[in-house]
Amino acid sequence: MGLLSDPNRRKALTGLLTRLNTPICIVCYLAGIVWFMGLAFEPFTLRTYMSENAMGSTMVEERFSSGERALSLAKEFDAHKRKAGGMPVEWLVKAMQSRGLEVFTQSFSRKLPFPDENKERYMVRGTNVYGILRAPRAPRTEALVITAPCSPGNTNNQAVALLLALAQYFRNQIYWAKDIIFLVNEHDLIGTQAWLEGYHHTNITGMEYSPLQGRAGSIQAALSLELSSDVITSLDLVLEGLNGQLPNLDLANLFYAFCQKLGVLCTIQGKLQRNDWDTAEGYTHAAQTMMLMVLKQACGRSWGDHGLFLRYHIEAASVRGINSFRHYKTDATTIGRLLEGMVRKLNNLLERLHQSYFFYLLPSLSRFVSIGYYMPAFGLLAVILLLRALDLWVHLGAPALAAVDGVTEAEQPSSPGVLTVLTPVVISHLTGVALYLLPVHLQEMAVEHFPVSETEAVVLTAIAIYTAGLALPHNTQRALYAVVMVLLSPAFTILYCVFIYQELIEAPVSVSEGWMLFLSVISQGILDHALYGSLVYPLLALFIYPCWLMFWNILFWN
């Protein structure tokens, strides 16, 4: 007879399961943690390689030379930006037109659910300016996008200027097989979202925008440029997008290949790769880089303007120039050459990037861990849930077995009524729904009654509803368990993650600063969900929080 159909064998198996349940669970948990942390150890990772045949190796000769002209253009742009008090639309339109692009503008407006610290107002209005470089010989079926944000103040002037210089250089070449769109967006992610929705004729986030007058075909890849100084010491690659989505690994491979060719220092997560993988510091460095990537993906916000492209299956990455205290400086011409090389290689693509991995972790720019290697760690953690469930199932069935054996001392436990089980479940989920809906809707009422700003009102309402859910009759005997449960609750997990994140980026904060960061994280999460459709806040409020609340109920079941 089979293993599970033979009653004797089944009894032995279930006996094993119930007896050894806790040890197996502990072993699985530790194994999962060790497996995951071991992934950062270099011999367990694979070296990155270019998977797409069409992109090949970096065999092009970059001839871009107008770096200096770009820097003077940056000053001009800055002056016009100050004069216009925002985006200098006419100047940009004229600059792009004089470089031979087809220029169009798009105006957009968005009513924020509550004003966050950056915007300090409800209504956000802006204009995107984009110019299309038509491929001289190719049909207009495919496009590439290069975008630079127009940020207030001193930031990203050089990015926009380099964009214009590249546009002028690209216009003189005849080897383009795709149209190239040069986009300057206002208000960062909101502008990008408006442009993408207008381009693809969708309206998923309630943005109001004017329809796009000019279009270029389906977008194959996008690059976002952030450059705020004349010389830089390193280029940082930002891959994490909305909801933790990542572009195809080939895009990161392309960036790394050109960094190596041109001799530019390239970092990921702001950390430079080390050579000493066999020392403790080398390993912790790689582990920190990997954990930073995990945390950034977990928080679900888009860490660069590229992040919103990923939802439309457009592979996109952000390249950020960093000016820190290093000896070796890279000038704008070299950055221009790097971008020229990347765009030229992307020009060779015949299909969208799909040959390399979509789910991966990068302990460094030249090493990667694919999902096939890191998923087993989570599988081991999930096995614990399965084992516990089986254990409970076996225990539920045990009194019945005792009755069958003829021993009738055990009294029949009264099966609980449906109402007694359903009530906590419903209440937990209702509290979750309240946590999801009420903070934004009750903010006016909160502002009337309490001396706080709208943002603070939202966040504090959320925290209030969260702690209200804990209000249950409890007995003091389980105080220790109660404290442990609270310390493992979702809100505290987020708090720990904030502190860990700050440690990992080597900017540790004090407790009060951490608390303020925590509050801003909550408000940003709610805002991201409302503006771009990030799923982390609804996931927490509607699924994880009710589950935890039900555990809390079970703990104090009387």
Contacts with another protein, residue ranges (CB under 8 A): 53-54, 56-57, 59-61, 135, 137-138, 173-177, 344, 347-348, 350
Rank residues 53 and 408 by Cβ distance to another protein and give the closer one: 53
Rank residues 176 and 545 by Cβ distance to another protein and give the closer one: 176
CB atoms within 10 A of CB 235: 23
Q: How far is the CB of 225 from another protein (least distance, A)?
A: 22
Q: How far is the CB of 336 from another protein (least distance, A)?
A: 17
Q: How far is the CB of 349 from another protein (least distance, A)?
A: 10
Q: How far is the CB of 248 from another protein (least distance, A)?
A: 18
Rank residues 339 and 465 by Cβ distance to another protein and give the closer one: 339
Write b or e for each residue in 360-399: b if 16 or more Cβ atoms lie within 10 A of its Cβ, otherwise e.
bbbbbbbbbbbeebbeebeebbebbeebeeebeebeeeee
Rank residues 95 and 251 by Cβ distance to another protein and give the closer one: 251
Rank residues 135 and 286 by Cβ distance to another protein and give the closer one: 135
Q: What's the length of the chain?
A: 558
Q: How far is the CB of 136 from another protein (least distance, A)?
A: 8
CA–CA dist 114, 191 (Å, integer) = 18
Is 215 in contact with 199 (CB distance < 8 Å)?
yes
Rank residues 114 and 255 by Cβ distance to another protein and give the closer one: 255
Q: How far is the CB of 103 from another protein (least distance, A)?
A: 23
Rank residues 57 and 414 by Cβ distance to another protein and give the closer one: 57
CA–CA dist 150, 540 (Å, integer) = 33
Q: How far is the CB of 173 from another protein (least distance, A)?
A: 7
Rank residues 73 and 135 by Cβ distance to another protein and give the closer one: 135
Rank residues 297 and 333 by Cβ distance to another protein and give the closer one: 333
Is 516 in contact with 395 (CB distance < 8 Å)?
no
Tokens of 326: 């290093």
Q: How far is the CB of 3 from another protein (least distance, A)?
A: 45
Rank residues 251 and 434 by Cβ distance to another protein and give the closer one: 251
Q: How far is the CB of 65 from another protein (least distance, A)?
A: 15
Q: How far is the CB of 252 from another protein (least distance, A)?
A: 20
Rank residues 172 and 414 by Cβ distance to another protein and give the closer one: 172
To the nearest 10°, report the CA torsion of 282, 286, 291, 292: 100
Which residues contact residue 59 at a Cβ distance below 8 angstroms, ignoring those fewer than 6 apart? none
Is 289 in contact with 362 (CB distance < 8 Å)?
yes
Of the candidates 98, 78, 207, 146, the one whose C-alpha atom is nearest the C-alpha of residue 533 is 207
CA–CA dist 424, 262 (Å, integer) = 62
Rank residues 57 and 408 by Cβ distance to another protein and give the closer one: 57
Q: How far is the CB of 208 from another protein (least distance, A)?
A: 38
Residue 172: exposed, middle, or buried by beta-carbon count in 10 A (0-12, 13-18, 19+)?
A: exposed
Half-sphere exposure (CA, 13 Å, Cβ side) for 234? 17
Q: How far is the CB of 262 from another protein (least distance, A)?
A: 13
Rank residues 262 and 295 by Cβ distance to another protein and give the closer one: 262
Is 62 in contact with 259 (CB distance < 8 Å)?
no
Is 127 in contact with 110 (CB distance < 8 Å)?
no
Note the helical H segments in 442-474: 443-449, 454-468
CA–CA dist 240, 293 (Å, integer) = 8
Q: How far is the CB of 177 from another protein (least distance, A)?
A: 4
The C-alpha angle with vertex 443 and arms to 439 and 444, in degrees rounded to 5, equals 155
CA distances from 405 to 36, 157, 409, 410 (A): 46, 82, 11, 11
Tokens of 297: 């993906």
Is 455 in contact with 117 (CB distance < 8 Å)?
yes
Is 341 in contact with 264 (CB distance < 8 Å)?
no
